[in-house]
Amino acid sequence: MSSRYRVEYHLKAHRKDAFIQWIKGLLAVPFVLHSVNERDNAQEKYRRVFEDVERLVEEKIEADSDESLLHGAGVSRLDRLVPTIGTFFTPLPLTEAFLREDARRAISERAHVSPSFNDIRHVLNTAQILQLARTGELALVTFDGDVTLYEDGASLAAEDKVIARLLRLLGAGMHVGIVTAAGYDDAENYERRLFGLLRRLERADLPIEAKRRLCVMGGESNFLFRCYERDGRAGFERVPESAWMSAELQAWSQDDINATLDLAEVMLRSLREKLRLPAETQIIRKVRAVGIVPGQRFDPELGREVRVPLLRETLEEIVLAVQSRLETFPPAQRVQFSCFDGGSDVWCDIGGKDLGVAFLQRFYSPESPIRPNQSLHVGDQFAPVGSANDVKARLAGCTAWISSPQETVALLDDLLAELDAPTNM
């Protein structure tokens, strides 16, 4: 009988990252040779693969920047090998990153388990961190909330390890943004979710200018809140849309927004019946979002209310069904929307995290907006087709793909160590 991991892995062909899968395929041949003959130098062969990929990334960056008719964007060898590949805003020192991760994960010592999706994901993250730190130009670091800064559905508590790293980023002159799908239009809800960060911020030995570099972009790109401190108490205050939202988005028709959310809500109600979801399942409508969330039911054995979860396959079916319908709906085509699986629920938001990151880039530096190669977004949802909302952040800047708050802490430790390294001072 297959394990849960294997079952879910085979069910999610639409969620595989083509670039990572391609690299994984390149590493398969040296792995097979190594598994047959352990004297074979697997590390050197893996290193050469990453060296070749590193050169292909550099070639793509050069091709994408060449606006001549002969060498237009999208004609690099990497584009031909991985047709769905996106934009690289910086080179990636993949060779060095692989050697670092190999020292940690003993990738080349394994004779029975080939280089995995997670191995390659970590190599890509490390390469991006190395490059951003060494240029000395990193100006903006943004984070998803659930599963990135804190566990799914939890809040950021004062004792959470990630807070010390966020404070160090602010102290190092970075702008820090939390770009979350949580779509509250009032500051109080974000203050409750991030109360631990605010309490630690109050005690931190940081100038007020540094604390003001912390913002929350809610609803992916719909509500901006900036940190303030008055009389020793920190909180968030809402920033008027005119101060940060682009004219194009302000011009979106409210009728189109309402029609898009109306259709998404109709779809959710229909799918609730069609997929025979538990009666407790709720549909929630917000100002710029609509979602379906698990309800609660009294468990007589436990003597308390418990959540009635939705199947993973059900969540993905809902996401893909709603998204495919909205893509052909004229009002939805005149705005931007994002359908995603939040791990236990499904939401359709107006906007997207690419817009949220881009708005922060301009808000923090209106005269000279922060560039994509000066930005890093850290998140857990980078599935390339549907289901995920962090993937859109790749359109606005560099990214790092983590799978837990613990990985976020480790990644920030690497970043801060590189920023503090003598060669980067």
Residue 71 has pLDDT above 60, yes or no: no
Tens digits of per-residue pLDDT, 77-120? 999 999 989 899 999 999 999 999 999 999 999 888 999 999 99
Rg (CA), the chain: 22
Across the range 202-219, mean pLDDT stands at 95
Report percent pLDDT > 70 for the chain.
90
Contact criterion met (CB below 8 Å) for 134 and 171 = no
C-alpha 139/C-alpha 144 separation (Å) is 17
Query: Does the annotation count 146 as an active-site position?
Result: yes
pLDDT in the model for residue 387: 54
Three-class secondary structure of residue 221 per DSSP: coil
Q: How far is CA 365 from the centre of its chain?
A: 22
Three-class secondary structure of residue 256 per DSSP: helix
Please report, to the nearest 10 degrees, the dihedral formed by the alpha carbons of residues 154, 158, 159, 162 taken in order. 70
Contact criterion met (CB below 8 Å) for 362 and 369 = yes
Residue 280 has pLDDT above 90, yes or no: yes
Across the range 273-293, mean pLDDT stands at 95
Q: What is the DSSP letter of 396?
A: T
H or E, element range at 122: helix 117-135
The per-residue pLDDT of the chain, averaged, comes to 89
C-alpha 278/C-alpha 309 separation (Å) is 9
Across the range 5-30, mean pLDDT stands at 70
Contact criterion met (CB below 8 Å) for 85 and 147 = no
C-alpha 172/C-alpha 169 separation (Å) is 5
Report percent pLDDT > 90 for the chain.
70
Q: Where do the H-state alpha helices sit in 146-207?
A: 162-171, 187-193, 195-203
* Banded pLDDT at 137 (limits 50, 70, 90): very high
Q: Please report the domains of the chain, with CATH numbers, ordered by start residue.
A: 14-135 (no CATH), 137-425 (3.40.50.1000)
Query: Does the annotation count 205 as an active-site position?
Result: no
Contact criterion met (CB below 8 Å) for 182 and 188 = no
Residue 139 has pLDDT above 90, yes or no: yes
> Catalytic: which of 102, 146, 160, 345?
146
* Banded pLDDT at 385 (limits 50, 70, 90): low
Q: Where do the H-state alpha helices sit in 66-116?
A: 77-81, 94-105
Three-class secondary structure of residue 142 per DSSP: strand
Residue 36 has pLDDT above 70, yes or no: no
> Catalytic: which of 102, 119, 144, 345?
144
pLDDT in the model for residue 13: 47
pLDDT in the model for residue 5: 38
C-alpha 259/C-alpha 337 separation (Å) is 12
Q: Is the whole-model pTM more than 0.85?
A: yes
Residue 383 has pLDDT above 80, yes or no: no
Residue 133 has pLDDT above 80, yes or no: yes
Q: Longest C-alpha distance within the chain, in Å?
A: 71
Residue 200 has pLDDT above 60, yes or no: yes
